[in-house]
Amino acid sequence: MKTIIKNGKIATDSDVFSGDILIDGEKIAEVGKNICCDDAEVIDAEGMYVLPGAVDVHTHMDLDVGFARAIDDFYDGTVAAACGGTTTIVDHMAFGPKDCSLWHQVNEYHRLADGNAVVDYGFHGVFQHLHEETLGEMKEIAEKEGITSFKVYMTYDYMLHDDEIFRVLRAAGEAGIVITVHCENHGVIQQLRKEFSEAGCGAAEYHPLSRPARCEAEAVNRMIHIAAMAGDAPLYIVHLSSAEGLHEVLKARAEHRPNIGVETCTQYLVLTDEMYKDPQEGLKAIMSPPLRKDQDREELWQALQDGVIDTVATDHCPFHYKAGKAEKQYGRDDFTKCPNGAPGVQERLMLMFSEGFMKGRLTLPQVVKYSCAAPCRMFGLYPLKGSLEPGTDADIVLIDPDKITEIDRDYIRGASDYSCYEGMKLQGRIEKVFMRGREIVSGGEFLGSRGDGRYLKRGRSILAD
């Protein structure tokens, strides 16, 4: 089956031009002007922007955190992704049983995602200990499964210590594997949480105070130096949230430190810690790292303008606010009991388009770079995904810039009963989404089927080259 998307404003990470895209089966066959093909269905994209399908490299579908489980499984979460123009995700695995092999969670995640996901997907592996066999398992998983990135946490119960992180980075660097890191100083956070708890300060407003921006900055700085000492091992800092953390990245960039990738998330660009003022509503935005101040938000946008940050993801990890088990309410009297995380995979591309491009903070190629192309370059998917080159997967999004996307309950396509962005009116609306040549969203309606998503064995990151 062939389709021509005609007369659109085609946006890549380097250019915007008027033209057509010919899709043949699952692939883009041609990109150019006045493409003719007698047996192709024609879609008129006049007045619309045509972007590569977006790629979110930080989601947590079906995340099991022990006392709660993220409510978007791989079906609901990827339907939300698809409706928001995201045609590929790379999901961060949950921790498995104590002392389990790294393979345990790889197998578990295939069980959760295979046959359920509606968009294409890959996984990041996760470290939760460092036993004798663990580094060998990492290399084996990279070779056999195409899981070429693994995460370490510098906080939480299954955090790794500096000596372990150093050994992981050194081995990963030798094998061309990227280590992604959640950077927060564990000791300070634990102490502050204890002090707030003893003082009876359990309201949502204490959550950001218990995880100050300097906790992030200190950990970012430490990671950058440990990676350097580990032979400039490929390092990817997830969900950078603060100006203080960014200043450490700027210092590393000024010193031309190689092989460092940096991600921020839409919530740190759009929302602030004002959300925590209301003890009830604040529960919706309990996530780690927490939301920051206006100044942080502005500096993060500036860093995107300047190319200091590489990608924008979501850390999508929703729990119910009032519906179902209302897991977010576990934190009503004590924020430390609230499961961390919030939805965002559906909103991301339109937030980037509206808050970034339409408000003049970013160019459209920059939106494509941060939402589509760079995530693929970082995680071994480029140019198959995140580009509009002939021969690549026909993952394509059509956005009408003259329409409005109102974020309200009707908008939400995942299992969540809220969005942190509720009440926002975004300039532009996603009209159609194609995944591997098939139209999977039209006018907000999901047209795909459970299990349409394909597992992606990923290649080498540009950070490892």
- The yes or no reply on residue 317 touching ligand URP (CB under 6 A) is yes
- The yes or no reply on residue 287 touching ligand URP (CB under 6 A) is yes
By C-beta, is 288 or 387 nearer to ligand URP? 288
H-helix or E-strand containing 315? none
Q: Which residue is nearest to ligand URP (CB)?
A: 340
Residue 156 CA, distance from chain mean position: 20
Number of neighbouring beta carbons within 10 Å of residue 431: 19
- The yes or no reply on residue 315 touching Zn ion (CB under 5 A) is yes
Closest CB 345 distance from ligand URP, rounded Å: 13
What span, in angstroms and rounded, lies between the C-alpha atoms of 130 and 136?
11
Picked from ligand URP, Zn ion, none, the partner binding residue 72 (CB below 5 to 8 A depending on kind) is none
- Angstrom CA distances, 217 to 162, 258, 336, stand at 16, 19, 22
By C-beta, is 312 or 388 nearer to Zn ion? 312
Sites for ligand URP among residues 193-232 (CB under 6 A): none
Picked from ligand URP, Zn ion, none, the partner binding residue 341 (CB below 5 to 8 A depending on kind) is ligand URP
- The yes or no reply on residue 259 touching ligand URP (CB under 6 A) is no
- DSSP tag of 167: H
- Angstrom CA distances, 55 to 86, 119, 140, 223, stand at 6, 10, 26, 25
Closest-CA residue to 51 (of 374, 371, 375): 371
Picked from Zn ion, ligand URP, none, the partner binding residue 130 (CB below 5 to 8 A depending on kind) is none
- The yes or no reply on residue 105 touching ligand URP (CB under 6 A) is no
Structure tokens at 95: 């921790």
Ordered DSSP codes for 38-76: TTEEEEE-TT-EEEEPEEEEEE-TT-B-SS-B-S--HHH
Integer-rounded Cα Rg, in Å, for the chain is: 21
Closest CB 368 distance from ligand URP, rounded Å: 25
Residue 252 backbone phi and psi in degrees, to 5:
-65, -40
What span, in angstroms and rounded, lies between the C-alpha atoms of 387 and 384?
7
What span, in angstroms and rounded, lies between the C-alpha atoms of 442 and 109?
29
Burial, 400: exposed, middle or buried (Cβ in 10 Å; 0-12, 13-18, 19+)? middle
Cβ-proximal residues to 346 (8 Å cutoff; 6+ apart), any chain: 80, 81, 83, 84, 86, 411, 412, 413, 414, 419
Closest CB 159 distance from ligand URP, rounded Å: 11
Give the E-state strand segments of 362-424 in sequence order: 396-406
- Angstrom CA distances, 249 to 13, 238, 306, 310, 442, stand at 23, 12, 13, 11, 40
Closest CB 141 distance from ligand URP, rounded Å: 20
Q: Which residue is nearest to Zn ion (CB)?
A: 315
Closest CB 186 distance from ligand URP, rounded Å: 12
Closest CB 451 distance from ligand URP, rounded Å: 25
Sites for ligand URP among residues 399-438 (CB under 6 A): none
- The yes or no reply on residue 315 touching ligand URP (CB under 6 A) is yes
CA neighbours within 13 Å on the CB side: how many for 155?
Answer: 20
- The yes or no reply on residue 320 touching ligand URP (CB under 6 A) is no
- The yes or no reply on residue 275 touching ligand URP (CB under 6 A) is no
Q: Which stretch binds Zn ion (CB under 5 A): 67-75, 309-317, 363-371, 450-458?
A: 309-317
Picked from Zn ion, ligand URP, none, the partner binding residue 267 (CB below 5 to 8 A depending on kind) is none
Picked from Zn ion, ligand URP, none, the partner binding residue 288 (CB below 5 to 8 A depending on kind) is ligand URP
Q: How many residues bind ligand URP (CB under 6 A)?
A: 8
Residue 18 backbone phi and psi in degrees, to 5:
-85, 140
Taking residues 57 to 96 in sequence order and writing x for each that binds ligand URP by CB under 6 A, - otherwise, the string is: ---x------------------------------------
Closest CB 129 distance from ligand URP, rounded Å: 18
Picked from Zn ion, ligand URP, none, the partner binding residue 207 (CB below 5 to 8 A depending on kind) is none
Picked from ligand URP, Zn ion, none, the partner binding residue 340 (CB below 5 to 8 A depending on kind) is ligand URP
- The yes or no reply on residue 288 touching ligand URP (CB under 6 A) is yes
By C-beta, is 120 or 315 nearer to ligand URP? 315
Q: Which stretch binds Zn ion (CB under 5 A): 300-308, 315-323, 431-439, 451-459?
A: 315-323
Residue of the chain from 176, 208, 341, 344 that contacts ligand URP (CB under 6 A): 341
Burial 339-349 (b: 16+ CB within 10 A, else e): bbbbbbbbbbb
Closest CB 65 distance from Zn ion, rounded Å: 11
Sites for ligand URP among residues 169-188 (CB under 6 A): 182
As separate numbers, helices (DSSP H) first and strands (DSSP E) second, the chain gives 13, 17
Which residue(s) pair with 445 in the sheet?
442
Picked from ligand URP, Zn ion, none, the partner binding residue 287 (CB below 5 to 8 A depending on kind) is ligand URP
Structure tokens at 235: 């390092």
Name the site residues for ligand URP (rule: CB under 6 A): 60, 182, 287-288, 315, 317, 340-341
Note the residues at the interface with Zn ion (CB under 5 A): 315
